[in-house]
Structure 1
Amino acid sequence: MSESSNNQFEVAIIGGGPGGYVAAIRCAQLGLKTALVEKRKTLGGTCLNVGCIPSKALLHTSEQFVFAAHHAAEAGVEIDGQVSLNLETVMKKKDKVVQQLTGGVDMLVKKRGITRFDGHGKLLGDGKIAIDDKEEITAKNIILATGSSVVDLPFLPQDGETIVSSDQAIAFDSVPENLVVIGAGAIGLELGSVWARYGSKVTVVEFLPKVAAGYDDDVSKLLERSFKKQGLSIHTNTKVTGTKEIDGKLNVVAEKKGKELTFPADKVLVAVGRKPYTENLGLDSVGITPTDRGFIEIDDHFKTSADGIFAIGDIVRGPMLAHKAEEEGVAIAEMIAGKAGHVNYDVIPNVIYTEPEVAGVGITEAQAKDKGIAVKVGKFPLTGNGRAIASDATDGMVKIIACAETDKILGGQIVAKGASEMISEIVTHMEYGGSAEDLGRTVHAHPTISEAIKEAGLAVDKAAIHSL
């Protein structure tokens, strides 16, 4: 391994995903000589390459397909001939989106003068990093941003062909006749929705009592009803135990209330979560010991137990979300540069990009009850919203949770077409400590689905205008 003055940096970041590349750009903006180490050929991590972005491209095109094939005529749009799916073109479109965005990140990194190293980064101690055991760099400050990987089921190992993760489920070369999805979280529901729209018979199996477990029961129940109307078969309180062959066909075996259930499967998507990725990172060489769940412990300034080494994103506490990692990337860069970096973890939104979408921020009503916090709740259904009715998008609601004593907004949940965009309004009000009344008195354009947020804010004090 070789080292020169060109390989000495003020900051070196291992991992080029949303947390890592954002940290690198912010470091460079602040005048720090910065290195970025990434083992993929392209930057952007899981999110841009095989996660957030390609899945959203598939969600978009599948929504268009469903409209054209099943809803256009009732909307007065007549399409001559049969609507058919060209999956090869769909995948090319998805890949083009990914290439555009990963290429854009690469250009941003180059324009900022960040030195990029291709290869697997490994800590050696004393501020040194080996890259594929061929090259060595040194940095005064090292940021670990290596992200996460999919969780496997010991009794159902993934083979990448039949038993797959989301990495393969965004790239099927044909539409599976039967798709079994294990896990009713964001990944399972989103990709299950995609393939159901394209014609798969999709069965979602969830161990927990409800889908979208991070949301309140009324929100989850509304979502489940909507998914079932779209043709997804959903089994909650159901434990997958393995697979077996029946009449020459693979079946997923599960147990519910002591009874065995079997689901035929051409493909099985395992979507039971993600785990921190720190494989061969050299943590032992610097005295860092991950927790039992694999996370790296940090203090409130992202410092690990090793001097000069920081960690952000999916490998540390908090939700495994790209935007959370981005905010941490900015914050740690500013801290290293001597500025007051900060992340407000109370206002990080979470979204499931199905149709309808579901988005939430802050605490739920159930969490408030568990914590003994007295709250007032305001709800508004989209059945009372003019734009939703005009857009055939009445499956949904907005829910605001406010402190019973101060009226401060503690949380909000939205089920709606475009909920991912709408949630930012609640986040913004919470960021400055706004009240439900502030939300209810904010002027909204009419007609918009976002008016439901205003009405829910008013409903906290039983003052909603368009609700009985």
Structure 2
Amino acid sequence: MKEISCKLLVIGAGPGGYVCAIRAGQLGVDTVIVEAGKPGGTCLNVGCIPSKALIHAAEEFDKVVHMASGRDPLGIAVAPPTLDLVKTVAWKDSIVSRLNTGVAGLLKRAKVKTVHGWATFRDGKTVEVETETGNQVIRAEAVVIATGSAPVELPFLPFGGPVISSTEALALSEVPKKLAVVGGGYIGLELGMAFAKMGAKVTVVEALPRVLAQYDAELTRPVLKRLGELGVEVMTGAKAKGLSTKRDALLVETTDGKDGKVAADRILVTVGRKPLTQGWGLDQIDLDMAGKFIRIDDHCRTSMRGIYAIGDVTGEPMLAHRAMAQGEMVAEIVAGHKRSWDKRAIPAICFTDPELVIAGLSPEEAKALAGEIKIGQFPFAANGRAMTKQGEDGFVRVVARADNHLVLGIQAVGQGVSELSAAFGLALEMGARLEDIAGTIHAHPTQGEGFQEAALKGLGHALHV
């Protein structure tokens, strides 16, 4: 059995793991990374990137369908369009492949040794990796666990046949005629809206009283309006119960206790993700857990000396950019730098139509923390650039303390607002006040002006509304 030694071993080459390894390599740390699949993890291979590719393709197809209807206000007319999903998926796969190659190249450039296989702990400093050419033992001074997460499977709707997870949804060869989506969170609505635009009859089944429950109702109102325009049926307060006998429908129970059926060729289950804490020898090491997640401190240290954990395996928010930031920090700590986790805000984006962005505290959370607050809200209906993009639905909202105007949270809903998330995060990290945002010259005509106008509104003197 082959044996190698290193200073840092990273288990998992997802966003957190590969960023950690690359940064460690840049700092001269002898680093090995172990990955059973392709580099990039869930986000690159079957999550963030491919889903956004599919969402973009669906948006483009929907535009053409609208033009073909003869109702396009821009005066553009085209012949009735068709969609070849096989070609669409192949295009999506080509993007993923290019990024896979890019990550592998970055690891090589940073002089990180990559071992392909499944790692299992022997003890806190040693893992055994099952590779295609035999088992390999790796001994390390420090270990980073970056094993990520996987879709939650419902016991009464196991994956297989017509029941699929987001992974399978991104690799379908044809658009389902009828798609039932179990779970009205961001994954379910992102993919549900995309398939609706591609021609599927979509029904969303959500057990809670409303979809996108993690966002406030005002923020989600434009999304609900768009769901209606796309013909998506939303069943709230409805619980999925299983498959029909013929496996052609989803069995549901409504709020009044009545049973019903939702006809479906495919049933997409999107009820959350679970950390991957099984299968890599957790029983061989003694880590404190925080529920189903690995407990960490503000340096991403676990309860065992020399073992760190980052990303989805450590809890919410399960976001790739959180994992990346943690990975970079841990690499610098291992290299001897002084770092700690002290983030004011981690922006979160829902790529529905329109898009949602939240950063920092909601109005309710801010009020609970600071007492009296100021809220400035600016509608895109008064923004010239939004009008020229036919994206008037939505707004930017800034939440600040009333006494010193310190910005505590920023939210937005609208077409393309995901690109404003960097400005929102930067403002919060730098401790901006309403006056700082209002006094910054924002380029015209852009949707970013809505951010400045919201701050001005919070100060009591918005200019364009």
SS of equivalent residue, structure 1 residue 460: helix
**Amino acid of the structure 2 residue aligned with 1:125:** D
In the alignment, which residue of structure 1 is the partner of 2:113? 115
In 2, the alpha carbon distance for the partners of 1:407 and 1:144 equals: 40
Q: Do the aligned partners of residues 345 and 162 (structure 1) sit closer, same or farther apart at CA in structure 2, a change above 3 Å counting?
A: farther
SS of equivalent residue, structure 1 residue 346: coil
**Amino acid of the structure 1 residue aligned with 2:84:** N
Q: Between Structure 1 and Structure 2, how many residues are aligned?
A: 459
- Greater Cα offset, 337-346 or 122-131: 337-346
Query: Which residues of structure 1 form unaligned runs of 5+?
Result: none
Q: Output one character per residue of 1:78-124: Cα deviation in whole Å (capped at 9) or x when no partner.
A: 22x32111111101100001001111001111111110000011111
SS of equivalent residue, structure 2 residue 294: coil
**Amino acid of the structure 1 residue aligned with 2:177:** E
TM-score, normalization: structure 2? 0.95
Q: Output one character per residue of 1:156-178: Cα deviation in whole Å (capped at 9) or x when no partner.
A: 2111x311100001111111111
- Aligned counterparts, 1:268-279, within 5 A: 268-279=267-278
User: 1:11, 1:141 within 8 Å by CA — same for their partners in 2?
Assistant: yes
In the alignment, which residue of structure 1 is the partner of 2:58? 62
- Greater Cα offset, 63-72 or 367-376: 367-376
**Amino acid of the structure 2 residue aligned with 1:140:** E
In the alignment, which residue of structure 2 is the partner of 1:35? 32
Q: Output one character per residue of 1:121-172: Cα deviation in whole Å (capped at 9) or x when no partner.
A: 111115111001711011000000000011111222111x311100001111
**Amino acid of the structure 2 residue aligned with 1:359:** V
Asked if residue 46 in structure 1 is aligned to residue 42 in structure 2, the reply is: yes
Asked if residue 22 in structure 1 is aligned to residue 19 in structure 2, the reply is: yes
**Amino acid of the structure 1 residue aligned with 2:240:** V
**Amino acid of the structure 2 residue aligned with 1:2:** K
User: 1:156, 1:242 within 8 Å by CA — same for their partners in 2?
Assistant: yes
Give the C-alpha shift of residue 441 in structure 1: 2.0
In structure 2, which of residues 412, 430, 443 is the aligned counterpart of residue 414 of structure 1? 412
Give the C-alpha shift of residue 245 in structure 1: 4.3
Q: Do the aligned partners of residues 444 and 280 (structure 1) sit closer, same or farther apart at CA in structure 2, a change above 3 Å counting?
A: same
Q: Do the aligned partners of residues 153 and 345 (structure 1) sit closer, same or farther apart at CA in structure 2, a change above 3 Å counting?
A: farther
- Aligned counterparts, 1:7-406, within 5 A: 7-40=4-37, 42-71=38-67, 73=70, 74=72, 75-79=74-78, 81-132=79-130, 134-159=135-160, 161-245=161-245, 249-292=248-291, 294-371=292-369, 373-406=371-404
Q: Do the aligned partners of residues 281 and 289 (structure 1) sit closer, same or farther apart at CA in structure 2, a change above 3 Å counting?
A: farther
Asked if residue 431 in structure 1 is aligned to residue 429 in structure 2, the reply is: yes
In 1, the alpha carbon distance for the partners of 2:257 and 2:280 equals: 43
Query: Which residues of structure 2 form unaligned runs of 5+?
Result: none
In 1, the alpha carbon distance for the partners of 2:76 and 2:274 equals: 46
User: 2:294, 2:313 within 8 Å by CA — same for their partners in 1?
Assistant: yes
- Aligned counterparts, 1:437-448, within 5 A: 437-448=435-446
User: 1:241, 1:255 within 8 Å by CA — same for their partners in 2?
Assistant: no
SS of equivalent residue, structure 1 residue 256: coil
In 2, the alpha carbon distance for the partners of 1:464 and 1:71 equals: 36
Q: Output one character per residue of 1:28-68: Cα deviation in whole Å (capped at 9) or x when no partner.
A: 0111000000010x100000000001001101111111111
User: 1:242, 1:254 within 8 Å by CA — same for their partners in 2?
Assistant: no
Give the C-alpha shift of residue 371 in structure 1: 4.3
Give the C-alpha shift of residue 227 in structure 1: 1.9
In 2, the alpha carbon distance for the partners of 1:245 and 1:441 equals: 63
In 2, the alpha carbon distance for the partners of 1:416 and 1:431 equals: 23
In 1, the alpha carbon distance for the partners of 2:411 and 2:342 equals: 18
SS of equivalent residue, structure 2 residue 271: coil
User: 1:251, 1:264 within 8 Å by CA — same for their partners in 2?
Assistant: yes
Percent identity between the aligned chains?
40
User: 2:343, 2:429 within 8 Å by CA — same for their partners in 1?
Assistant: no
User: 1:244, 1:253 within 8 Å by CA — same for their partners in 2?
Assistant: no
Q: Output one character per residue of 1:424-447: Cα deviation in whole Å (capped at 9) or x when no partner.
A: 112111111001222122211111
Q: Do the aligned partners of residues 261 and 366 (structure 1) sit closer, same or farther apart at CA in structure 2, a change above 3 Å counting?
A: farther
**Amino acid of the structure 2 residue aligned with 1:150:** P
SS of equivalent residue, structure 2 residue 190: helix
SS of equivalent residue, structure 2 residue 44: helix
In 1, the alpha carbon distance for the partners of 2:204 and 2:159 equals: 17
User: 2:312, 2:319 within 8 Å by CA — same for their partners in 1?
Assistant: yes
- Greater Cα offset, 117-126 or 16-25: 117-126
In 2, the alpha carbon distance for the partners of 1:425 and 1:289 equals: 37
**Amino acid of the structure 2 residue aligned with 1:12:** L
In 2, the alpha carbon distance for the partners of 1:394 and 1:126 equals: 55
Give the C-alpha shift of residue 338 in structure 1: 1.4
Computed over aligned residues only, the root mean square deviation of the Cα atoms, in angstroms, reads 1.6
SS of equivalent residue, structure 1 residue 299: coil
Give the C-alpha shift of residue 372 in structure 1: 6.1
SS of equivalent residue, structure 2 residue 408: strand
**Amino acid of the structure 2 residue aligned with 1:203:** T
TM-score, normalization: structure 1? 0.94
In 2, the alpha carbon distance for the partners of 1:460 and 1:375 equals: 10
In 1, the alpha carbon distance for the partners of 2:318 and 2:235 equals: 25
